[in-house]
Structure 1
Amino acid sequence: MQCYIVGGAVRDRLLKLPVKDRDWVVVGASPQEMLALGYKPVGKDFPVFLHPDTHEEYALARTERKTGKGYHGFAVYAAPDVTLEQDLARRDLTINAIAEAPDGSLIDPYHGRRDLEAGVLRHVSPAFAEDPVRILRLARFAARFGFTVADDTMALMRQMVADGEADALVAERVWQELAKGLMEERPSRMFLALRACGALARVLPEVDALFGVPQRADHHPEIDTGDHVMRVLDCAAEQGLPLTARFAALTHDLGKALTPAEVLPRHIGHETAGEAPLLALCQRLRVPADCRDLARITLLSHTKVHCAFELKPSTILRLFKQTDALRRPERFLLMLDACRADARGRLGFHDRPYPQADYLSALLDAALAVDAGGIARQWEDKRTLPEAIDRARTRAIAVRKEQLETH
């Protein structure tokens, strides 16, 4: 029985990045031997065990044989006669197919260290094509490390898409990988890698449709809507925004893909037009409700936020009510963050200030300061109470608005 550290822990150490978790592969052992040594079984599809003391994962060396489409279409063989090289051969990328022995020496039969140094994402073997999730993982690594994709690997992924492998992806796995990619330092790289191989049109057709859609050059010097959305996404990442706001940044302009050709490059009404494709996307990929809800109010309200200084107090209160800001102020502030990323995600606007965010935040504070409970206790006609509270909030917004504009 021999144990080796494998995969991401070895890769990240070689890249001088923090190592969060260590995975081990065990060669020359059976499940019975692992149990006898006190390891606890956790694997459902193949033998994986938790170390009795460290609780790190130890997987028996295994090989895999394709038996059907999709993520679960595999027959797994794990036995003491499977070699380390055979186990590494089934891994997705060369940079993830390096093992470290207990003495610190590296076992690198597929030249992963060379690809790390060159900044290249390359598949280990043609078996890469057997698991469509690997397309998403590779794109996520492109976002994390900024590596380029080897030509033969890109050709293989395009063939996988053409063969329908991407259509077999399970919604939960798609969202899981997309969510991880959205949280990388440059998430746009993930979506551009997916688009380069044709997979974006299969997993996120609503986003893919934005590429090639023109915008007004005076508002969007970058012209192309897809280019703009990628810039917005990276701005959201630079701001350190959470997943909910990054997903909102990705989807805020979906309606522009539905603009009639005869009115391009104008996009009147793209906010409401984008609601149906957004909700369809979220339902298809089973996007969490917090991501869906923030994306929806951002999509519907971002142009109003950009024009905040032109809005009347009554219109501002209507915006607060439409976005449920009076009950969910923290979510409204996240929407403002996404709108800031939208404004800066334009060619030449990256470092521009965005005073609308502080302005609307101050007006929301003024509206929230109104004692609605106090008004309710003194108001006799309960039928007109909501209008009375709205009037009080509108007055508070107007007063604060005048103060801000004066100073």
Structure 2
Amino acid sequence: MTNATHDRSLRSWVTSANGHPDFPIQNLPLGVFTPPGGGAARAGVAIGDMVLDLSAAPVAEDVREAAVGGTLNALFALGAGTRRELRARLSSLLAEGSGERGALESHLYPAVDCTLHLPARVGDYTDFYVGIHHATNVGKVFRPDNPLLPNYKYVPIGYHGRASSLRVSGTPVRRPKGQLKGPGDEAPRFAPCERLDYELEMGIWIGPGSALGDSIPVAEAEAHVAGYGLLNDWSARDIQAWEYQPLGPFLAKNFGSTLSPWVVTPEALEPFRIPQPPRPEGDPAPLPYLLDPQDQARGAFDIALEVLILTPGMAKAGMTPHRLALSNTRHMYWTVAQMVAHHASNGCDLNPGDLLGSGTISAPGEGGFGSLLEASKGGKEPVQLPSGETRRFLEDGDEIILRAQASREGFAPIGFGDCRSTILPAN
């Protein structure tokens, strides 16, 4: 499924793109930005350290029209065929030797001088729970005798989150308040969260949607995915422990979620597809509406996921961010297509710009935990930092940074850009 746009030897006349860890010419992710001089937000493409104004580029007219609305919703709605044509056109325009360099240079802006926005207007946000190692580890904290409930291996578990509190990378997150009740407390109290946590997730952007009452066959689900990003779905673990039964997450999750600004397209990720890892012996096969041979053969991804922390103490000492975890998307128990198909299986309509979260993706074993809840064993074992500090949960001023990179021999590695945010004190 790869083509000339994935050629490792391909180079760009935008020199910062050549060897760029995230945005070489083989990536070309989509986003929304405001140029340095201000003006209306419009769609752009990341190329090295620069952003190309898509609304002014010599591309198809429907793409230029979709690029001026301040969101990617209209572009997402155009579907995979338009994206593939756009990718091929951009690759040709930005490649070394392009005869149209002169027409593009005035529409390139240094990314550091641009304001980046949420890629789309999110109508609905659904958070799944497909990281089986995270689900098991968290289950051990809350239900030591029964960590993984029996429905997990039959149903792609999810819940409907709050779209209004989604924010782009770089936006601080305010420590929430809520009802807290410790094991020895007779009654709850209302106070700032004491067990604030991050969650390492992938975000899945929906492209062409579905009508109310219609389902999406799993074999066709990939056509409804517009792209991927990083998602930090912040969690107030103490609020969550008290409120989550019987209806699940509520105030512990809806106070804020952070998204990376760039949407890496399915086309850019083609070289990094892998078979869905086989289920452990004894696990049930997915029900027929969730099972497609092609999806099982190439519906998973090999993308390294990383969590880093920079505390105020580390910053004051001039230290660099410290890695807390290294995981991989191959640890997802369900594929993206299975999530999309299940979401629409009851006739729920999906719309361009809807967002799905994968749920926390942890790797097995130490060093791969996608949350502090896991890394600190529920707060019992503090995590040691190189500054001499420790963390059971996040403190005010801590900055969490998510990163991801897809790599494979014979192809140029591509990344997602940072997804970062700093914790502010409660009001």
Q: TM-score, normalised by structure 1?
A: 0.23
Q: Which has the higher helix share?
A: 1
- Give the TM-score normalised by structure 2: 0.23
